[in-house]
Amino acid sequence: MSTSDRPLVEPLANDIHLFDDIVMLHVAFKSRPLRDGGGKPSPGRLAPPRRAPSSLGRLGKQIISLVLPMVPQTIWSTQCGEKQHPFPEELLDTIRTTLGSPPNAQPPPGQPPFLELIQDLATRSGDPDGAFPTELSRGVPLGVTTPPLHSPGIWPLKSELKGMEFVQQELEEPIGLENYSSVKNFARQVRATFVEEAQLDMVEGPLTKQQAALRCSCREEDLCPGPLAAIDEGDKIRTIYDGSAGGANIHIQNHTMERTTAPTVLDCVQALHWLHEASRSQPTTAPHLRDDSTGTQHWQWPKPEQQWILLKADVTKAHRRVKVLSQDWRFQVAELEGEWWINKVGTHSMASAQLYWGRTAPSS
């Protein structure tokens, strides 16, 4: 008996139920629905023949034609490990205009993404979470004193995943803590990180303790600085903000009813197996769904000569692309050698950061 977690003979076109509503992934002795990072309503969890045609397909083809001349330079940039993308700003402006953005449009204050454009595209495509960019433009609650935002059925409840009712607890108030000893040797580099992010409007400072309390609309004694740490990675010093130490995270987890689900390597492997096996086992009765508006076929059955690869991308400062409401800043402050800094955006170690970024990334 095989003990591998990876699908070895599945999926085959004649026994994986190609046209079931949800593609299932078999891991060891358990089964679960395929994950694509878009939540429960995402069409990416369906087998390709089951997906309805996208209302934005025409725009996708236009973007492909715009970026095709950039393919060689993009491949070169990827192979060389370039930190910056190779696309000129003029091309990005043209793409945004093609998608429907007004000329010279700018992101909302404190938010890098073009949220109005994202919301317009999401609404036009029928995304059930299409209104979320409006919440992002205002800022989101951290989840310490009030529950984090709930999605309209996008993510499974904790009770669904655990198979038992979720029970909230009575907890003590969060407290502030001193920095870890590692910061003493790298205080200059840690401060440089704050200065850099202050220029991006992700951090505010340096401030006195009194000024920080005024900006957070609280008393000085209500500030809850998370302990800072510094990790020497050889080529750089990584600044770590430990939001789990003072008790804020326990409150966030206690208020959070949902959990985002991200794809794993096995989900990607399952998708590749589906394509490879489907290309060799095309059923004679395969449906050819057509776009009702144009009458054109929107999905072609894969051919044996086609090839596919997995491409992994990463967003720089991903969690810090989400603005946090000022009423919760006091739970994300940091103190360094007498200077106070306020994290105004999602912070990696805070429990709700992934919840919000996991919901932001699919719409972006």
What is the per-residue pLDDT across 108-153, written as a single tens digit (0 to 9) for each?
887 888 999 999 999 998 899 999 999 999 999 999 999 999 999 9
Using alpha carbons only, give the angle 238, 259, 320 rounded to the nearest 5 degrees: 30
For residue 11, cis peptide bond before it (omega within 30 degrees of 0): yes
pLDDT band at 273 (very low <50, low <70, confident <90, very high): confident
Residue 256 lies in a domain: no
Q: Is residue 69 part of a domain?
A: yes
Question: What is the average per-residue pLDDT within 173-194?
Answer: 93
| Residue 15 DSSP SS3 | coil
Is 316 part of a structural domain of the chain? no
The pTM assigned to this predicted structure is 0.82
Domain-embedded: residue 189: no
Domain membership flag for residue 337:
no
Q: Which domain holds residue 92?
A: 56-125
Residue range 280-292, pLDDT digits in tens: 776 655 555 544 4
- Number of continuous H segments (helices) and E segments (strands) in the chain: 11, 7
Of the pLDDT bands very low, low, confident and very high (cuts 50, 70, 90), residue 19 is low
Q: What letter would DSSP give residue 294?
A: T
Q: Is residue 60 part of a domain?
A: yes
Q: Considering the domain boundaries, does residue 358 fall inside one? A: no
Q: Is residue 348 part of a domain?
A: no
Q: Could you give the angle at the alpha carbon of 330 between the alpha carbons of 156 and 200, nearest 5°?
A: 85
pLDDT surpasses 60 at 36: yes
The partner residues of 324 in beta bridges, in order of sequence, read: 140
Number of domains comprising the chain: 1
Cβ proximity of 38 and 363 under 8 Å:
no
DSSP 54: P
Using DSSP's 3-state secondary structure scheme, residue 242 falls into: coil
The pLDDT, as a whole number, for residue 85 is 83
Q: Which phi-psi region, left, alpha or beta, contains residue 153 (left: φ > 0; alpha: ψ -120 to 50)?
A: left
